[in-house]
Amino acid sequence: MALLETKGLSMTFGGLRAVAGFDYILEEGELAGLIGPNGAGKTTVFNMISGLLAPTSGHIYYAGEEITRLPAHEVTKRGMARTFQNIRLFSQLTALENVMIAFHRHVKYGYARAFLHLNIGREEEEIRESAYRLLEEVGLAERAHQIAHNLPYGEQRRLEIARALATRPKLLLLDEPAAGMNIQETARLKTFIQEIHDRYNLTILVIEHDMSLVMGVCRRITVLDYGMKIAEGTPDEIRSNPRVIEAYLGEETADVAN
């Protein structure tokens, strides 16, 4: 069954067609990739699907329901979570506090610390325990009381994913999770994505420039170029697709043929 479907999804910024008529189907349980050169429209697709941007035209269906133009918190409520290309954490709070806040979807960034102090009592204890358990599950329990900002980059990314998992999503959208990571961190991330996919029965769509990661974990890859889908297939099919190779020619960040 399709968990996510887009039909004719389009976004125009001023005169720029960032995404043009994107038709896409993501089956429940898939671990799929979305790639394309810089500026191809990948993040814009995520922004529309997750309710941060209202599409100029087209439709989005999630779990059998049309969600086009629903605000982000309504989309979250239906079981979708995402991470961002630029890490979004409460950098001055601990890893544990970051996850605790994620259990409450409506806390504004500026009020995070005040919220933690106000929300004392039994409910807070339960949230603290759940947050700690989640940190254990993602291998960050030892970091629970460290300030997010001081964690190694790879662990900040992992913490961001843990925050996304706190809402217990069915669908997880990851926007360039390996960005800025070194080779070892990327290799660990690859295993981690596979693990959470299996353990939580998650459907995952990942945007990534790191070809070792995307070709290594995704069974199916979709390629965007200038806002349009130019290819879709298995990693092997994508690697040898002439249109894809052409789109990536001159790109420094990725070498799709390797």
Ligand X SMILES: Nc1ncnc2c1ncn2[C@@H]1O[C@H](COP(=O)(O)OP(=O)(O)OP(=O)(O)O)[C@@H](O)[C@H]1O
CB of 129 vs Mg ion, minimal distance in Å: 36
* Residue 151 to residue 103: CA distance in whole angstroms: 21
CB 4 within 8 A of CB 62: yes
Question: Cβ closer to Mg ion: 99 or 177?
Answer: 177
How distant, in Å, are the alpha carbons of 6, 24, 63, 207 from that of 78?
Answer: 16, 19, 8, 21
Please report, as a single letter, which amino acid is at residue 12: T
Residue in 39, 79, 180, 216 binding ligand X, rule: CB under 6 A? 39
Question: Cβ closer to Mg ion: 37 or 169?
Answer: 37
* Residue 196 to residue 187: CA distance in whole angstroms: 15
Query: Cα-Cα-Cα-Cα dihedral of 208, 245, 238, 211, to 10°?
Result: -30
**Residue window 63-82: x/- pattern of binding to ligand X, with contact defined by CB under 6 A:** --------------------
The tokens describing 164, both together, are 């996304």
Residue in 9, 22, 26, 41 binding ligand X, rule: CB under 6 A? 41
The tokens describing 8, both together, are 């004719």
**DSSP letters for 206-244:** EE-S-HHHHHHH-SEEEEEETTEEEEEE-HHHHHT-HHH
The runs of H, that is alpha helices, within 78-220 are 95-102, 112-118, 122-137, 153-165, 183-199, 211-217
85 binding ligand X? (CB under 6 A) = yes
CB of 96 vs ligand X, minimal distance in Å: 30
The tokens describing 188, both together, are 């660990």
40 binding ligand X? (CB under 6 A) = yes
Question: Cβ closer to ligand X: 89 or 224?
Answer: 224
CB of 185 vs ligand X, minimal distance in Å: 19
186 binding ligand X? (CB under 6 A) = no
Site stretch for ligand X (CB under 6 A), options 37-45, 56-64, 88-96, 128-136: 37-45
Site stretch for ligand X (CB under 6 A), options 1-9, 13-21, 147-155, 186-194: 13-21
36 binding ligand X? (CB under 6 A) = yes
Question: Cβ closer to ligand X: 44 or 156?
Answer: 44
Residues that bind ligand X (CB under 6 A): 13, 16, 18, 36, 38-44, 85
